[in-house]
Structure 1
C-alpha cells in the first residue's frame, strides 16, 4: 500500500477528535504522520504512546523526541514535568482508542465513505470474506477485503502481516480503497484487534458473528474474556442503526452455543438499541429455527446444494464449498447480504461463482481415487468440524496430518490430539510453526490427547500400506510427513493436511523458511502412481 499523500493536518483538529484532556494547553502545529513506533517518528510526526503487553510506549518518548517528532500523545498525567518545550505534549484518557481516532481523522475518515462490514469469530471469517466479495461484486459493488490471507481491492493485493492491521495502517489502507472506488469493505476483526482497539475510528454498518471455540486463550485467559472481546464489535463498533448478523448452531467443546448467547445478551441490554424501530437490527442465522435457515442440503466432495429459507423468500443455491461448516459460512454470508438488501438472485449467482478461500479445505490435484485437501484448521473445534465433514464423505480411510503452533495456547494441544484420534482413521503428527519451542515437546503435548483414544501407535508405512486399518505415528519433519502419507495413500482415502492453510512459511527456532503445504502436497501427488 502507498504512503499518505496528505501534506499536513492540523494537530488541533486531530486533538479535538480524540478528546484530548489538556486542549487548552495546545500549541497548534502541522502533523505529517502518526505512529506508535518511536523508530518511525520524525519531523512533523505525532507519536502516540501505547501501553503494550510487554513494553510501554511511554518508555520511548525520549527516543521519539530525538527522532524529531512534533508532538506526543500520552496517558493521563503523563505530561507532568514535560521537559521538551518545542514538542507538544497532549494527554488523553485512552491512548489505544485515541490512536485509531487520530488515524481516522488524519486520513479524512475514509470508512465513512464506504459500507463497512465487520466479521468476527474463531472460524469461518476468511471463507466468508470470499463469499461476500463475490456476492457484492455480482450486485455491482466494488468490494475491498482486509483479512488473514491478504488486503485486496481491484487488482491490488498485499500479503497480510496481521488479520487486522494497526490503526494507522488500517486507515491508510481504507483511504486508498475509498480513493480507488471501493464501495464495500469486508473486514476480519480479530479478538486481539477488538481488545486492543485497533478498529478505533470505525463504525460498522453490518457486523457478523460466525462462532466461538477454544483459541487464543494464551492472550485472553478464558472463554468468557474471549467472548467479551468478540462482543465488542456489536456493542462498541456497530452504528446505532447498524445490522448485527449472528450465526448460531455451532457449539464449543463444552456444549455452549455462543451465537445463541450473544443474541440473548444483545437483546437483553436495552441500552444497546437492538429491536427498536430506529435502532440496531438483529438477524439470526442457523441450521434451523432462524430467520436465515437451512430447509434442505446435499453435500459431496464436489460441493454443496442447499435450499435456504430467508425473510426475502426461499433460495436454491449451489457452491463448490464442501462440508457442514461451510454451509454455516454460507448462511452467515447470506445473512449479511440480506442486511445489505441484496436480492436473492444476486446472492445465488454470487455464491455459485465464489472461489474457495486459499488454504480453506482447498483441494490439491491428485491421481483419481485419492482426495487431498489443505485446511487452516488449527483449533480443536475447527479440526473436529473438518474431520466430521470429511468422515461422512470418505469411502476409504480418513487421514489427518497436523501439528500445533509453538508459543501459543498449550492447553488446546491435547484437545486437538483427542479430536483427531477419535475422528480420523490415521493420524500423522508433525511440526507446524514451533517458533521458539522444541517441536518434540509440542508433539508430546498433542500425543497426550491421542493416548486418551483407542488409536494405536505404529509406523506410518505399516498403517498406510493397508497392513493396519487404523493408527497414528509421529513424523517431526512436515515435508517427510506429507511425502510418506501421500506416497502410501490408497484409492478411496481422503488426506487432510491441517493447520497452516494459506501460509507459505514455517517458523522454527532456527528462523523462518519458505514452506507451502499446497505446493508440497501437489509435488508429491504429481510423482506418485497409485
Structure 2
C-alpha cells in the first residue's frame, strides 16, 4: 500500500490495458493506491475483490467501502448497493498485478530484471547474481526466499515471490533507490497464482526441475507448465532465456527433456537462448575439481575462457555458477568480470552452510566432525548434496532429515531411499509436521528406507559403533541433531537437511523458533568441551 501518488481512474485502467468501460462521470476519480486486502484500504484506494483459494475478497467489499475506497473491481455479480463505482472483469486475480504495476508506472521497465525459476538453486543464484552485478558496476536488488534486499536495506521474506501489490511496491522502492538490476526468484506457485503479472524480464534462468510441490500442482507436467510460463509469457521483447543443461547421464535424461522443451518455447517466441552445462552447451565448465575448499573450473564461452575459483562446494553449485555466468553473458558482461565477481561469494545462508563451534574459523585438527546445514527438501536436492559430501570421502556420512507435513507425500519414501543409498547413518526426524501426526510422516519416510534393506538400530549405538550402518527414527529434531553431532568424530561429515536458513518448526498451528544452525553450534560447543 502506497499513498504518495495519485492517478485518474480512467488513466489507471488505460495504462493496465484493461477492457473496462469507465463511465464519463467516473473517469476523473482519483486513485491513491491499489489493494486486494480490505484491511489495508485507506481513503481513495481502488479495492480489487479477488476470490482466493480460502478467502473471497467479494465478502469484504462493504468493509472496503466503509474505509473509504474510491472504487471497487469485481469478477462476480454483486447485487448489493455500492456507494462507490463498481466495475467488473472476468478475473480480478489476473488483472491485480497489472493494475498495481500501472499505478507505479511499471517499475520493471526502469531496471534490468533477471528471473530465476527451478526446483533447486534459485536462492543460491540470487546471491551469485547480486555479487556479479555489483562487480560489473551495477546496483543489485534481490527478491527471494531468504530476504528482499538492496542498497543496505534487508527485510526477511514471507514468500519466495511476493503477492502482486507488494511485489510492485518493492520494485518501485528499488527503482526509486537507484537499483539497476533485480535478481528475483520466481516460484511455480507465483506463476500459477499470477503474482508476477505486470513484471517482464530481460533474462529468465532455468536451473532444473525435479519432483516437488505435487501436492499443489498434481503432476510433473502441470508443475513444468507453470515454470514454462516464465519463458513463454514474461520476457521483454528483447528478453533472453538461460538454460542449465543436465549431464548426458541416463538419470539426467528427464531433466534434459524439460530443457529441450524450454529451448523450443524460446525459439517459438523469437527469444535468444543460452545453454550452459558441465561439458555441454554454449557455455561450458571443463577441467573442474571439487573439494572442501570449493570449486575450480575452466569456463569456456564462444568469446572467451577463464578459470573460475569459487568457495562454494559441489557439482550442483557448479551448475548454479554456470547458470549465473549465462545470465551475465546475456547482460553483456565480460567473462573475466563475471568470474571475478562470483569468486567473492563465500556462501549462502542455509545452503550447504558449514557450522563451526563458537570462536572457530577452521575446524581441522580439533577432533570434531564437519557439520553442514542445507535446505535440501526434495529427493533430487538431497541426492545432489549427499553426492557432493560423499565425494569428499568422509569416514562416515551421517544425515539428519525429515519431510514437511501437509505437503507432497509421494516424495517421502523417495527421500528415505536416496538417503539410504548415499549415507552411512540416517537419523529420521520431524521437519514442520504442521497438521499431520509426526509419526505418520516418519513412517512414510521409513517405508523407503526399508525397501533398501537398511537395518534399524538405536541412534546412539549406531553413532558409537563406527562399523555399523543403519538408521533410527527420532521424532524430536533437537535430539536427533544432538545424537548425530555428539556421536560423530573427526573424519565424519554430518548433514542436517531440510530447513537451511529457516528458523522455525511448525507443529499444528504453532510456529516455534528452531534454528538448525544454532542447534548444531551448541552441540559442537559441547563436543569440543568433552574432547
TM range (shorter): over 0.9
Q: How does 1:194-273 map to 2 (within 5 A)?
A: 194-249=191-246, 256-267=253-264, 271-273=268-270
CA drift at 1:260? 4.4
C-alpha deviation, 1:51, in angstroms: 2.5
Contact 1:250 1:257 in 2 (8 A): no
Match of 1:422 in 2: 421
Distance 1:507 1:265 in 2: 36
Match of 1:330 among 307, 321, 326: 321
The alignment status of 1:379 with 2:372, answered yes or no, reads no
Q: Paired residue for 1:298?
A: 289
Q: Distance in 2 between matches of 1:101 and 1:473?
A: 51
Q: Comparing 253-262 with 491-500, which one deviates more in the overlay?
A: 253-262
Q: 1:467 to 1:269 in 2, by over 3 A?
A: closer
Q: Provide the residue aligned with 1:12 in structure 2.
A: 10
TM-score by length of 2: 0.94
Deviates more, 1:291-300 or 1:365-374: 365-374
Alignment partner of 2:68: what SS?
Answer: coil
Distance 1:100 1:388, change over 3 A: same
User: Is 1:69 equivalent to 2:69 in the alignment?
Assistant: yes
Partner of 2:184: 187
Q: Residues of 2 paired with 1:215 and 1:477: CA distance?
A: 25
Counterparts of 1:316-465 in structure 2, within 5 Å, are 316-366=307-357, 367-368=363-364, 369=367, 370-465=369-464
Assess, with a 3 A threshold, how the Cα gap between structure 1 residues 283 and 475 changes in structure 2: closer, same or farther. same
SS in 2 for 1:451: helix
1:308 to 299, 302, 308: 299
The corresponding residue for 2:512 is 513
The CA deviation at 1:24 is 3.9
More off after superposition, 506-515 vs 216-225: 506-515
Task: Give ranges in structure 1 of 5+ residues lacking alignment.
Answer: 274-279
Instruction: Point out the more displaced range, 204-213 or 503-512.
Output: 503-512
Mapped contact 2:3–2:33 kept (Cα < 8 A): no
Q: Does 1:524 align with 2:515?
A: no
The answer to whether the 8 Å contact 2:245/2:259 transfers is: no
SS at match of 1:308: strand
2:283 is aligned with 1:284: no
- Post-superposition shift, 1:269? 7.3
Q: Could you say what the CA RMSD is over the residues aligned between the two structures, in angstroms? A: 1.9
Deviation for aligned residue 1:81 = 4.1
Once residues 466 and 157 of structure 2 are traced to their aligned partners in structure 1, the CA distance between those partners, rounded to angstroms, is 44
Deviations 1:15-58 (A, max 9, x none): 11334333243613111221112222232121112222233323
Structure 2 distance, partners of 1:502, 1:340, is 29
Shift of 1:302: 1.1
Superposed counterparts of 1:80-95, under 5 Å:
81=79, 83-84=81-82, 86-95=83-92
* Matches of 1:194 and 1:253, distance apart in 2: 30
Q: Aligned pair count?
A: 519
Tell me the SS of whatever aligns to 2:184. Answer: strand
Query: Which range moves more in the overlay, 63-72 or 184-193?
Result: 63-72
2: CA distance, partners of 1:373 / 1:80: 55
CA–CA separation in structure 1 for the residues paired with 2:285 and 2:249 = 21
Are the counterparts in 1 of residues 3 and 32 from structure 2 also a CA contact under 8 Å?
Answer: no
* Equivalent-residue separation in structure 2 for 1:425 and 1:211 (angstroms): 27
Of 222-231 and 468-477, the range deviating more from structure 2: 468-477
Report deviation, 1:67: 3.1
Q: CA deviation at 1:510?
A: 5.7
Local SS of the residue matching 2:5: coil
TM-score, L = length of structure 1: 0.94
Question: Structure 1 residue aligned with 2:23, among 1, 22, 25?
Answer: 25
Using the alignment, how far apart are the partners of 2:250 and 2:426 within structure 1? 20
CA–CA distance in structure 2, aligned partners of residues 112 and 471 of structure 1: 55
Q: Aligned to 2:130, what secondary structure does the other structure show?
A: helix
Q: Encode CA deviations 1:94-147: one digit per residue, 9 max, x unaligned.
A: 322211111111112111111000000000000011111111101111100000
